[in-house]
Amino acid sequence: MEIREIENLAKLCRIRLSEVEKGKLAKEMDSILDFVAQIQEVKTESLKPRVGDVRNVMREDSNSHESEEYTEAILAEAPKTEKGYFKVKKIL
């Protein structure tokens, strides 16, 4: 991979790279792309797809609680609340 291609990738990723980093990354990208090429050479046409036991691992929500059952207890633990909600600092 050439330096100008690394510079284009960096521009697309919106990152700044020093000249040393560009050179190092060019060498690393070459080895990564060589490895991908090796993987693509593997013949997989004769392999049958193997899929494990597909099942839902989430529990059923059979013992749900009533709406607002714990609201007061949870809000009591908050440092600040307002009109039934947590009050937090504005970050934007």
pTM of the model: 0.42
Is the Cβ–Cβ distance between 31 and 38 less than 8 Å?
Answer: no
Helix then strand then coil, in percent of the chain rounded to 5, is: 45, 5, 50
Contacts of 29 (CB under 8 A, 6+ apart): 1, 6
pLDDT, position 81 = 93
Does pLDDT of 43 surpass 80? yes
pLDDT in tens, 1-42: 889 999 999 999 999 999 999 999 988 998 999 999 999 998
Tokens read off for 52: 């494990």
If DSSP states are collapsed to H, E and C, what string results for 27-57?
A: HHHHHHHHHHHHHHCCCCCCCCCCCCCCCCC
Does pLDDT of 51 surpass 90? no
Q: List the domains of the chain with CATH numbers.
A: 3-40 (1.10.20.60)
pLDDT in tens, 58-71: 877 776 777 788 88
